[in-house]
Amino acid sequence: MRHWFLLPIYLIMLSLFFFVVVSAQEQPTQEKLLEERMNYYLKFENEFVPWYYLAAVDQFERNIQQVRNDIPNKEGIIALQFTKDYWMGELNPNKEDTSPLSIAIFAGKGLDGNGDGYADLEDNEDVLFTMATFLSGYGSAEEEFSLALWDYYKREETVNQIITIANLYKHFETLDLDEHAFPIPIKHNYSFQGTWGANRGWGGRRIHEGTDLFASYGVPVQSTSYGIIETLGWNEYGGWRIGIRDIHNTYHYFAHLAYFNEGLKEGDIVEPRTTIGYVGNSGYGKKGTSGKFPPHLHYGMYKDNGRTEWAFDPYPSLRLWERQDRNTDR
């Protein structure tokens, strides 16, 4: 009798186990996800719009959806989305319209990208085809791509960010550019702690927008991501500093350097662990000022959300990258 009483419990546990196993199997790996995403880009590239243009716009849209509450976070492989007014036409009374004919009548931009007779705002193929068609009207040169982006987004910083993403995809010929590294090779002696928000007095009252990593003068500093050098030179606060922009709308800031790696210049493409400079104590004065504080690297991170750029605490990321590098070095 006791066994009959426990049977329903066994069945429930078995069902839950089956559900967990099936759900785990249905979750695509990151490699599979990127492969499917690339297949979409390749399908809708054309002589004027290479795959990395489509990929860059889609990645930018994915980036801003992750940090903004005023736009939907589109689930699925493709993040690119259009407003209903843009897709169906501002004066179209049917905001669920999928007819290419009536959408065109109301000057909507939505198109049928897979030949099924519908221009569906939720269909990845229709969405990518619509964007590819829009970009095709400007030409294939980077300057023409930039103009198309300006006409669509009306923001210079957004144009520059998407161009950065496109150039990184083009250079490395892959979407898999998520690897990061700790900014100081872990074989060296260093120390750091979270000092986000601490008071800083030089140059007026302000807060510390970053993390200080203390190390000996001349210790190498390396890129923490794949990216393009956006800024390189002197700043009265940061001294000799470098700014690198990645594919996630993140700007990585390296300050108080002793000097840069030889030959490095703005526009150069770097990858994780590329040596970009060396720990120093420059800054807090006119060009060339140094020695006002112990040698260290100031590392900051800034996120662009499509409207503005804001600083966030890099300490959690640094801890994660340090742990990953130590595990890799074993």
Mean pLDDT, residues 102-121: 97
Helices and strands, number each (H, E), in the chain: 9, 12
The pLDDT of residue 198: 75
The pLDDT of residue 16: 55
Among candidate residues 112, 92, 82, 90, the one with its CA nearest the CA of residue 100: 112
> CA–CA separation, 264 vs 32, rounded Å?
35
Interior CA angle at 35 toward 33 and 40, to 5°? 100
Q: How far is CA 112 from CA 100, 123, 132, 205, in A?
A: 7, 9, 12, 56
Mean pLDDT, the chain, rounded, equals 91
Mean pLDDT, residues 54-67: 98
Q: With contact defined as beta carbons under 8 Å apart, do 270 and 252 qualify?
A: no
Q: Is 204's pLDDT higher than 80? A: no
Q: Is 303 left (phi over 0), alpha (psi -120 to 50) or beta?
A: beta
Q: What percent of the chain has pLDDT over 90?
A: 85
The pLDDT of residue 270: 98
280-317 pLDDT, tens digit each:
999 999 999 999 999 999 999 999 999 999 999 999 99
Q: Beta partners for 213?
A: 192, 297
Residue 54: other Cβ atoms inside 10 A: 26
Instruction: Output 21 or 258, whichever has higher pLDDT.
Output: 258
The residue type at 151 = D
269-290 pLDDT, tens digit each:
999 999 999 999 999 999 999 9
Q: What percent of the chain has pLDDT over 70?
A: 89
Q: Which CATH number fits domain 190-329: 2.60.40.1250, 2.70.70.10, 2.40.10.10, 3.60.21.10?
A: 2.70.70.10
The pLDDT of residue 208: 78
Among candidate residues 324, 223, 215, 219, the one with its CA nearest the CA of residue 276: 223
Q: How far is CA 257 from CA 221, 237, 294, 295, 314, in A?
A: 8, 12, 12, 8, 18
217-268 pLDDT, tens digit each:
999 999 999 999 999 999 999 999 999 999 999 999 999 999 999 999 999 9
The pLDDT of residue 28: 80
Q: Is 14's pLDDT higher than 70? A: no
Alpha-helix residue ranges (DSSP H) falling in the chain: 2-26, 30-44, 51-65, 84-88, 100-105, 124-136, 142-153, 156-172, 315-329
Q: With contact defined as beta carbons under 8 Å apart, do 321 and 182 qualify?
A: yes
The pLDDT of residue 23: 44
Among candidate residues 192, 268, 194, 284, the one with its CA nearest the CA of residue 236: 284
Q: Beta partners for 254?
A: 242, 299
Element housing 189 (H / E): none
> CA–CA separation, 305 vs 61, rounded Å?
9
Within the chain, all domains assigned CATH 2.70.70.10 are found at 190-329
Q: Is 74's pLDDT higher than 80? A: yes
pLDDT-derived band at 21 (thresholds 50, 70, 90) equals very low
Instruction: Output 3 or 181, whichever has higher pLDDT.
Output: 181
Instruction: Output 329 or 279, whichever has higher pLDDT.
Output: 279
Burial of 220 (C-beta count, 10 Å sphere; 0-12/13-18/19+): middle
The C-alpha torsion from 35 through 302 and 317 to 236, rounded to 10°, is 140
Instruction: Output 46 or 198, whichever has higher pLDDT.
Output: 46
